[in-house]
Every structure is written in C-alpha cells, then in structure tokens.
Amino acid sequence: MADLLVRLAGSRLGPTVHEDPDGVGRAVVPDRDLRYYLDLACGQLRRYAAAEPTVLVALLRMLRDLAVAVRDEEDAAEVRRAADTVRDTLAPSVHTGDAEQVHDLHRRVMTALAGRTVEAYLDRSGETRSV
C-alpha cells in the first residue's frame, strides 16, 4: 500500500476542470482525492487494530513514506490527519511500552512532514526502507 500511495502522491488527484477552447471552465468532473485513498488504505485496518499496536505502527510507517513524497501543503495536511487518526485510535488497554512504538512512529511521520527525512528514518524500521 505504501508504494501505491507514494505513486499517487505524484499524481494530480481530485476534481478536474474541463475548459472550452477559450480557456473557460465549463465542467467539473469529480474524482477521488488523497483523503479518499488514505481512508481506504487506513480506515478498516485502523479500526480493527486499535488494540494491536503492530498494525498501527505499520500504518504509520506507510504514512511516513507518504509524508516524504507529498508535494503540497494540502496533501501534507491529509497525511497529518491520517497519522493523528491512527495514533488516536490506539486502545487505552495497550501496554505503555507497546503504545510508545505507536507514538514514536507518529512523531516520525510529523518529522518527515517537516522535511527532516534522515531524522524521520533513524529507527529500526527505517533501516530497511529507502525513499
């Protein structure tokens, strides 16, 4: 999923305005935006894995990869929203040590969004990923 979302980050998503020969917008064709794809990729897994931090960490690793690839503030805001939602889904019953992994990866997504890529990947799961 991470690879597909990273590829989508380089694409033009959302509604398309079709112009006439004079350059006047005549029709808007709705299309799926990054929020739609993030909800599709994260939603069910996040909800069903609230008590399983390993899955939430995997989703946040995916969002970290995407955070490096987004090109504008609108898409960055969607990644931020998705990461916050994953973090906030964590069940209160999860052991503190396990919960810390989720919080650490959430911080790393924010670090990647801030443009500090090397710092965002200075963890064990980042050792095997190249962006």
* Boundaries of every domain in the chain: 2-128
With contact defined as beta carbons under 8 Å apart, do 80 and 114 qualify?
no
Q: Is the pLDDT of residue 80 over 80?
A: yes
Model pLDDT for residues 25-59, shown as the tens digit of each residue: 767 666 678 888 889 888 888 889 999 999 999 99
The residue type of 118 is V
With contact defined as beta carbons under 8 Å apart, do 125 and 104 qualify?
no
pLDDT band at 101 (very low <50, low <70, confident <90, very high): very high
**How far is residue 15's CA from residue 101's CA, in Å, rounded to a whole number?**
37
Residues of the chain with pLDDT > 70, as a percent, come to: 81
Task: State whether residue 130 is helix, strand or coil.
Answer: coil
**How far is residue 49's CA from residue 131's CA, in Å, rounded to a whole number?**
26
Average pLDDT, the chain: 85
- pLDDT for the residue numbered 16: 64
Tokens of 14: 């959302």
